[in-house]
Structure 1
Amino acid sequence: AVSLESIEYLGVKYRQEFLYFEYLSIIVFGIEFLLRIWASSERQSRRFKSGMGRRLEYIISFNGFIDLLAIVPSIISLFVGNVDLRWVRVIRLLRIFKISNYSSALEDLISAVYEDRRSFLAALYLFFISLFFSSALMYATEHKAQPIAFSSIPESMWWSLITLTTVGYGDVAPITPFGKIIGAITAFMGVCTVALLTGIIASAFANQQSRKKQIFSEEIKQAVDDGVITKDEYQKIESLRQKLNLSEEDARAMIEVIYKK
């Protein structure tokens, strides 16, 4: 609805329907937010022992902040005048992050990058060196030929960034022979640095998934040491499976493999 109402003729034609839908969204998200605050007192927390402290911890958490953003912009736009609706729509689109309440994909990605942050920062450092170096060279070689497109080193960074990331919009391109040589070298550096960054993230994500399965496997091994999984052990295993965001199929396969051993 947020995206569709930005189309002018749809926004005008179905303005009332979009408004009703927005009222419904505020009510649903508002009730959900209040229920999450109330239920958060039952969560285990190392920082807070009291229910009020746990509720406060949820409110200031990432998920709590996203849940709050899901309703506040709409309330402001409905009851406060002279608001730029374009920015309100953009902020309302942050509701999509509410999916993180039901999937740990975003959290897993951030955690994977953080675990391998040294390699990631080293690759990022090489990328920025390439960005500044190619921008300076392109400014030196193309400024006279294209004084508007390459008016300064910061202005030249647009071309360098687009070339290094292999996007290549084509709005700015070198025309001098030496500039074309620098462009070719920059494109090659971009393939190397971007591939390095992508490889590090992919490897870190795969390693994290492997660690999760290893932790889950060790828990299963401890549970089946006596040959029987008790009810308490099963609940503990199931709780760990949900925490690690492993599928039931993967969990069953791992249990069967361990049982066979």
Structure 2
Amino acid sequence: MAMDSSRPLKERVYFLLDGSHRESWISFGTNLFIMALIVLNVATYIAGTVPWVSAQYGQLFDAFDVFCVSVFTVEYVLRVWSCTVNKRYSSPVRGRIRFMLSPYALIDLIAIFPFYLPIVLGEKGAERVLRIFRLFRLLKIARYSNSLTLITNVFRRKAEELLITVLVMSIWLVFVSSLMYYAERGAQPEVYSSIPAALWWGIVTLTTVGYGDVVPITPLGRALGAMIALLGIALFALPAGIIASGFAEELDRRRQGTQYCPHCGGEVDELTNRPPENHTDTETEAGTE
């Protein structure tokens, strides 16, 4: 279905760039094109770190980067210009400021900002340092991907439960690291020199990584280490269970045919493809806070 040409230009631009209107082939094609540019731009950046690839194709990669930044800049400007179509950003000045402070808009800005900074300041050395920020362009793809939107919605809906588990894990980590410090400091004063130093052992043990660079050697320390490792498996499995249940709930909602706003995860009215009146822009609120 083509986009309604009777709409004002600003509204057409807004819905053209909005990733939720996939029934319009023009909007879908535009979003697909930007997604492809993001992936290719990051791929060329990664390939450019290989010396022989950079020597042979460096100029081509630089020209492609200029093209990508130009497209991303036009996209960002158009988004800021057309955002007032959304009732949340209807104010010409304050609304646009709120939009520019939203997480996705900040990601868009970070994606292009490093390119212009050395040009404005004339600092060639800064260009090498800031090139790493080109990887942030990969985050832009979350705006256009249903899968990444699903992941974002899961973490947003389960934020409270995940925060509680992180708090419990942090308390447990400090507790077990303190126990191991007192059990091992006499035998290994250099390794377990303090409780903060013992935290490294606690992290690699509770997460079952086990680098082996810091290990208990006393009988008491080994007994504590064995119990802590077993308890750590159960404790650190809690976030995985919460996220898994969140995925199941989100997939169930999508099977029921409910559409969601790609910016905040709120339900969208299928008849108008607009967020309902009681829609809460959690993303914007998070960005402004």
Q: C-alpha separation between the residues in 1 aligned to 2:218 and 2:127?
A: 45
Match of 2:117 among 67, 76, 86: 76
Q: Which residue of 1 aligns with 2:75?
A: 32
Does residue 143 (structure 1) correspond to residue 185 (structure 2)? The answer is: yes
Residue 49 of structure 2 aligns to which amino acid in structure 1?
A: S
User: Using a 3 Å threshold, how does the CA distance of structure 1 residues 13 and 132 change in structure 2: closer, same or farther?
Assistant: same
Q: Deviations over 1:36-73 (max 9, x none)?
A: 2223232x32x443355443332221111111111111
Residue 197 of structure 1 aligns to which amino acid in structure 2?
A: P
Q: Which residue of 2 aligns with 1:152?
A: 194
Residue 239 of structure 1 aligns to which amino acid in structure 2?
A: N
Q: Which residue of 2 aligns with 1:194?
A: 236
Q: Which residue of 2 aligns with 1:226?
A: none
Unpaired stretches in structure 1, ≥5 consecutive residues: 218-234, 242-261
User: Using a 3 Å threshold, how does the CA distance of structure 1 residues 126 and 21 change in structure 2: closer, same or farther?
Assistant: same
Q: Which residue of 2 aligns with 1:5?
A: 48
Check the 8 A contact 1:216/1:240 in 2, yes or no: no
Identity %: 35
Q: Which residue of 2 aligns with 1:229?
A: none
Match of 1:16 among 31, 55, 59: 59
Q: C-alpha separation between the residues in 2 aligned to 1:178 and 1:48?
A: 62
Q: Which has the higher contact order (CA 8 A, sep 6+)?
A: 2
Question: Residue 159 of structure 1: CA displacement?
Answer: 1.2
Normalising to structure 1: TM-score of the pair?
A: 0.72
Q: C-alpha separation between the residues in 1 aligned to 2:213 and 2:126?
A: 30
Unpaired stretches in structure 2, ≥5 consecutive residues: 1-43, 260-268, 276-289
Does residue 236 (structure 1) correspond to residue 257 (structure 2)? The answer is: no
Normalising to structure 2: TM-score of the pair?
A: 0.66
Q: Deviations over 1:66-101 (max 9, x none)?
A: 111111112224553254556413322111110122
Q: Which residue of 2 aligns with 1:254?
A: none
User: Using a 3 Å threshold, how does the CA distance of structure 1 residues 142 and 17 change in structure 2: closer, same or farther?
Assistant: farther
Question: Residue 212 of structure 1: CA displacement?
Answer: 5.1
Check the 8 A contact 2:84/2:95 in 1, yes or no: yes
Q: C-alpha separation between the residues in 1 aligned to 2:246 and 2:128?
A: 37
Residue 115 of structure 2 aligns to which amino acid in structure 1?
A: S
Q: Which residue of 2 aligns with 1:246?
A: none
Q: Which residue of 2 aligns with 1:124?
A: 166
Residue 99 of structure 2 aligns to which amino acid in structure 1?
A: Y
Question: Residue 121 of structure 1: CA displacement?
Answer: 3.0
Q: C-alpha separation between the residues in 2 aligned to 1:21 and 1:9?
A: 18
Q: Deviations over 1:149-202 (max 9, x none)?
A: 221111111111111111222222222222221221221122111111111122
Residues 46-125 of structure 1 mapped to structure 2, 5 A cutoff: 47-78=88-119, 80-81=122-123, 83-84=125-126, 87-103=129-145, 105-125=147-167
Normalized per residue, which structure has more helix?
1
Residue 180 of structure 2 aligns to which amino acid in structure 1?
A: M
Residue 151 of structure 1 aligns to which amino acid in structure 2?
A: S
Structure with larger Rg: 1
Aligned Cα root-mean-square deviation (Å): 2.9
